[in-house]
Chain A
Amino acid sequence: MMPALETVGLHKRFGALVVANDINFSLEPGARHALIGPNGAGKTTFINLISGRLPPSAGHVLLGGRDVTLLPQAARVRRGLGRTFQINTLFRGLSVLENVALAVAEREGRGGDMFRSASSRRGALEQAYALLQRLRFAEDALTRVQELPYGKQRLVEIAIALGLRPSVLLLDEPAAGVPSAESATIVEMIEQLPPDIAVLIIEHDMELVFRLARRITVLVQGRVLVEGAPAEIAADARVREVYLGERQHG
């Protein structure tokens, strides 16, 4: 089967600092794949390289088998790539419904419609609302994002990306900053994602990782240290040393 997403020899340096070092990675359709590694390992940068927010220093990114390395972000989104952000990146002054509707309108290629009347926005709003209902998030539809508690803002992060109906979804620490008692709704939302979406999730909470992921990649200083099933990763001595061990100490 052709991978939904693939990177070949991906490199990124910031000056002398190498943040992505020869990353060969692939994500099957329907994958539930976790990317873990210490702070500063280059996980967010990896997502920025895939989504086109940053250009790589060398290497390639393939979506559905097609090389998208030179394509801008918008073209990658059109080919099915959706992402969320570690730090909330939302339309704070707009309602939840409008946040999601902006994504829906862009997916439908109607984001630039000038001359159809305002009610032509109805289509995008209806779809966005249906999505919020499915996510059991409809009661907050008209609340402005900046008035939502932080935990719910993290849900909007995911809802916007789902408005794109992605075939590949990159989640950058979806529960970051949310106390573990409140992260249950976020985990539920991720567990209920359509099974055919390929999901790459960056997460620090190991309990969450083992619950959500069927495969795990460990990134250390921009390099893939090891990749395998959760049980293999849990048993790997090197992983314990650089990652799990570090957490116990600090």
Chain B
Amino acid sequence: MSPVDALIRRHRLRAIELLPWIIAVGGYFAFADYLPLGSQILIMILFALSLDLVLGYAGIVTLGHSAFFGVGAYAAGIYAARVSGEPLSGLLVGAVAAGAVGWGSGMVILRTQGLALLMLTLAVTALLAEAANKASFVTGGADGLQGVDISPIFGVFRFDLFGRTAYVYCLVVLFLAWLFARHLVHSSFGQSLIGIRENLVRMHAIGSPVRRRLLAVYTIAAALAGVAGALLAQTTQFVGLTVLGFQRSGEIVIMLVFGGVGRLYGAFVGATLYMIAQDQLAKMDPEFWYFWIGLLLVLLVMFARGGILGLLDRVVRR
């Protein structure tokens, strides 16, 4: 096999890539009492996946990704409360609103790098959170957005009390988003993002329009995060100020780092384990939970840079 074929083959779908979907479908039947948690996990996977495009592939270090999640959640929530309860158009509204904010803020902040960029991502989130708080006449402010009422999907599938419809809905959306993200990272565009992460100076020197590429991926990832936020608004029929908070931004980075950055599946592993562990441990003692998360994070960063999937890689290669 020629080296060219060998590289092309890496993009083919491998059997193991179906594992998350088998688990997700199996989980629907095996954990019927936990479907609301399951939906939350699927939403966080989508959110982490969108972050991976920005952080893992393009190497943009951000602590403000919740801005887009929050904008998507509020846009979809307000759309449902004021305009229409139709869910699919609501997702689109969330995606477009978040993508627009991603594009607009990216135009300004992607001119900077490193620490300055990190601070600016935080600043954008802070500004939006404060705006959502002040604009209580549309957002409900600190009380949260009320009156989010979602119609059946395609006019047929009602959102039921057990969260069955919600789970399947989130799963289908996540699956489509994954197909899209997978295609994207294996495209020439995706390769050029890796190039930017690996060596920015050289990308400039081979004539790559670096800023345009970064803005494109930032906008796409913002739209995907917006879809995740919209899913949360629709499935919980509520939007609170925490969707925009620093804490959510930080948590999603932790989840992705746990799973493994820049490998598409780190989002699946990290978000799932984090959400399940949080659900179990937080019942016992919430503060203790953060202690363990902190300790785990220190250990992973010191001894396993590639996260859990990176560790697995190394074990398998031996």
The 8 Å CB contact of B188, one of A92, A95, A120, A142, is: A120
Contact A73 B207 (CB under 8 A): yes
Contact A98 B206 (CB under 8 A): no
Contact A112 B216 (CB under 8 A): yes
A223 close to chain B: CB less than 8 A: no
Given A92-B198, A95-B7: A160 and B206 within 8 A (CB)?
yes
Contact B191 A105 (CB under 8 A): yes
- List B contacts of A83 (CB < 8 A): 205
> In chain B, residues 180-202, which have Cβ atoms closer than 8 Å to a Cβ of chain A?
183-184, 186-192, 194-195, 198-199, 201-202
Alpha-carbon distance between A102 and B187 when the two chains are bound, in angstroms: 12
Chain A contact residues, majority secondary structure? helix
- List A contacts of B4 (CB < 8 A): 97, 122, 125-126, 129
Given A106-B192, A113-B188, A114-B189: A73 and B198 within 8 A (CB)?
no
The 8 Å CB contact of A105, one of B6, B7, B192, is: B192
Contact B206 A77 (CB under 8 A): yes
Chain B contact residues, majority secondary structure? helix
Interface centre among B2, B3, B201, B205 (most CB of A within 10 A): B205
Given A90-B199, A92-B199: A53 and B206 within 8 A (CB)?
no
Alpha-carbon distance between A93 and B210 when the two chains are bound, in angstroms: 19
Alpha-carbon distance between A77 and B198 when the two chains are bound, in angstroms: 20
The 8 Å CB contact of A94, one of B184, B194, B207, is: B194
Q: Give the number of chain B interface residues (Cβ < 8 Å).
A: 33
- List A contacts of B210 (CB < 8 A): 74
Contact A117 B183 (CB under 8 A): yes
Write the nearest CB–CB distance from A72 to chain B, whole angstroms: 8
- List A contacts of B3 (CB < 8 A): 95, 97, 129, 138, 141-142
Interface centre among A101, A111, A117 (most CB of B within 10 A): A111
A14 close to chain B: CB less than 8 A: no
Alpha-carbon distance between A163 and B207 when the two chains are bound, in angstroms: 11
Contact A122 B8 (CB under 8 A): yes
Given A102-B195, A116-B187, A118-B187: A125 and B7 within 8 A (CB)?
yes
B136 close to chain A: CB less than 8 A: no
> In chain B, residues 1-44, which have Cβ atoms closer than 8 Å to a Cβ of chain A?
2-4, 6-8, 11
B212 close to chain A: CB less than 8 A: yes
Contact A114 B187 (CB under 8 A): yes
A124 close to chain B: CB less than 8 A: yes
Contact B195 A53 (CB under 8 A): no
Contact A121 B191 (CB under 8 A): yes
Alpha-carbon distance between A76 and B191 when the two chains are bound, in angstroms: 22
Contact B8 A89 (CB under 8 A): no
> In chain A, residues 56-99, which have Cβ atoms closer than 8 Å to a Cβ of chain B?
73-78, 83, 85, 89-95, 97-98
Contact A105 B188 (CB under 8 A): yes
B201-235 interface bits toward A, Cβ cutoff 8 Å, 1 = contact, 0 = none: 11111111110110010000000000000000000
- List A contacts of B190 (CB < 8 A): 114
Interface pairs (21), CB distance under 8 Å: A85-B201, A85-B202, A92-B199, A94-B194, A94-B195, A95-B3, A101-B191, A102-B206, A102-B208, A105-B191, A106-B206, A111-B191, A113-B187, A114-B188, A114-B216, A115-B183, A116-B187, A118-B8, A118-B11, A129-B2, A141-B3
Leading 3 A-B pairs by shortest Cβ distance = A77-B207, A118-B11, A91-B198
* New A-B contacts (10) at CB < 8 Å, excluding given A91-B194, A94-B194: A74-B204, A74-B209, A94-B195, A105-B188, A118-B183, A118-B186, A121-B188, A122-B4, A142-B6, A164-B207
Interface residues of B (CB under 8 A from A): 2-4, 6-8, 11, 183-184, 186-192, 194-195, 198-199, 201-210, 212-213, 216
Interface residues of A (CB under 8 A from B): 51, 53, 73-78, 83, 85, 89-95, 97-98, 101-103, 105-107, 110-122, 124-126, 129, 138, 141-142, 160, 163-164
